Structure 1
Amino acid sequence: MTWNNIQWKLRMLMFDCYQISIGKIDKNISIFCNNCIGAFVAHDFRLPFNSPTVNLMIPPSDFIEYIANLEYYTNAPIEPTKSDQSWPIALLGGKVHIHLIHYKTVEEGVLAWRRRETRINAKRMYFVLIETDGCTYEDLERFDQLPYKNKVALTHKSYPQIKCAHYIKGYENQNGVIDSYRFHKILPLRIYDQFNWMKFLKHRNV
């Protein structure tokens, strides 16, 4: 067994203990994220995937367009589009690019999207923007201005003007927050644990 496997097992035990002592996270919440970090966090708390933004990446500007107009994009057409990447890309509503990184085909990704789309709980939504994949300061501003209370932007440096920003240390010399799911060298903690996910996900003001 590798040290990463041991860290993972210790981590799951740690998060289970958190929920026993502090109270469980509501399993009916929907976490929207522009990349896989949302799925990692849901897995940490043993939550079902109640939003379609799982196992994929959406460019930050497109992600903000999507969550700013959720009602419009729910059940909107999804069509294949040309891709220079090694993974398929689909276009939602003719505008939002969905990079199906962990799917073999667009069809497979669309089936998963539609299945999880039906699970969205409009009363308990949480929004996470990771400053990566070309995220600009203007994207952060737009995200900050969205009328959602439960939102956070994980950023590679401090942005005092962005109220929902949370500075993740260690990325100051990079262009964004990259691979923040990586484990600490010794502790069963991931880089993104610099943010208090338990407090965030237990907040009910939507």
Structure 2
Amino acid sequence: MVRKTKVFVKRKMRKTFQEVYSKKDIAELGDKPFVIISNNCWGGSLYQWYKRPYNSPFVGLFLYGPCYIKLLQNFEYYINQDLVFVDRSKYPDRKKTYPLALLGDIEVHFTHYDNEEEAKKKWKRRVERMLKEKNLDNYFFKICDRERTTKEHLKAFHNLPFKNKISFAIYDDSELKKIDNHVKVKESAKKNKNIVPNGKKMFKLTFLYFDPNRWLMNQNI
């Protein structure tokens, strides 16, 4: 009960004084460059918080865990592939109600795009912006336990050679507990108590668990 009260108060304060907190974080971060690679809308919410232009194509979309990990394991190759739009997902639990495309054999689900033309245009433009950032220390990678992301995917994520990584999950185990940048989340999705909330809701909870500013400034979180 005590934790629930503290969480409620902190979330209420953040929501009520969102603009104040956002301005404070923006001022502290200054002009520090960053590129966010995220498996869902969490990344877009972070860009909005800092009022930065989207210099990453991973905005307004999601990837299933197996596809996301495979993409990150060969990031340079996949990010240079052309999008090919398809009518059907290989994942049977997903009905196509939005543009769906392949990067090679990687599915990209453009959930917040109206049509294929818009998705392709914005993807290409944001990839070009991203590739202008040559310093890999300014790339920040995020994953969570949604969309078929298993414990093994989380462990594979943390074994990737990228410097800046953060993961969120309802579950953890002895190996995950040893990882400093893995966050065990207590709040779950309403319809599925075994996974974290969706990207936008998870971003709102982020401030309860770690300081994004410290992360983006390459400091210990």
Give the TM-score taking structure 2 as reference length.
0.78
Q: Is the 8 A contact 2:85 2:116 kept in 1?
A: yes
Secondary structure of the structure 2 residue equivalent to 1:190 = helix
Higher share in helix: 2
CA drift of 1:66 comes to 1.5
Q: Report the counterpart of residue 135 of structure 1 in structure 2.
A: 149
Against the structure 1 CA distance between its residues 197 and 25, is the aligned structure 2 distance closer, same or farther, given a 3 Å change threshold? Answer: farther
Secondary structure of the structure 1 residue equivalent to 2:201 = coil
Q: Report the counterpart of residue 5 of structure 2 in structure 1.
A: none
Against the structure 1 CA distance between its residues 79 and 41, is the aligned structure 2 distance closer, same or farther, given a 3 Å change threshold? Answer: same
Q: Is the 8 A contact 2:47 2:54 kept in 1?
A: yes
Q: Which runs of 4+ in 1 moved over 6 A?
A: none
Root-mean-square deviation (Å): 2.6
Q: Deviations over 1:144-185 (max 9, x none)?
A: 1101110011111334413231112222971211236339xx
**Counterpart code for 1:175:** N
Pair 1:174-2:174 in alignment: no
Q: Report the counterpart of residue 218 of structure 2 in structure 1.
A: 203
Against the structure 1 CA distance between its residues 131 and 161, is the aligned structure 2 distance closer, same or farther, given a 3 Å change threshold? Answer: same
Q: Report the counterpart of residue 24 of structure 2 in structure 1.
A: 17
Give the TM-score taking structure 1 as reference length.
0.83
Q: Which runs of 5+ in 2 are unaligned?
A: 1-12, 89-94
Against the structure 1 CA distance between its residues 81 and 159, is the aligned structure 2 distance closer, same or farther, given a 3 Å change threshold? Answer: same
Q: Among residues 92, 98, 104, which one is paired with 1:87 in the alignment?
A: 98
**How far apart in 2 are the matches of 1:160 and 1:105?**
44
Q: Report the counterpart of residue 46 of structure 1 in structure 2.
A: 51
Q: Is the 8 A contact 1:25 1:45 kept in 2?
A: no
**How far apart in 2 are the matches of 1:44 and 1:119?**
19
Q: Deviations over 1:72-117 (max 9, x none)?
A: 1123121111233211210012x11000101122221111111000
Percent of matched pairs sharing the same residue: 25
Q: Report the counterpart of residue 91 of structure 2 in structure 1.
A: none
**How far apart in 2 are the matches of 1:51 and 1:204?**
22
Secondary structure of the structure 1 residue equivalent to 2:200 = coil
Secondary structure of the structure 2 residue equivalent to 1:151 = strand
**Counterpart code for 2:198:** D
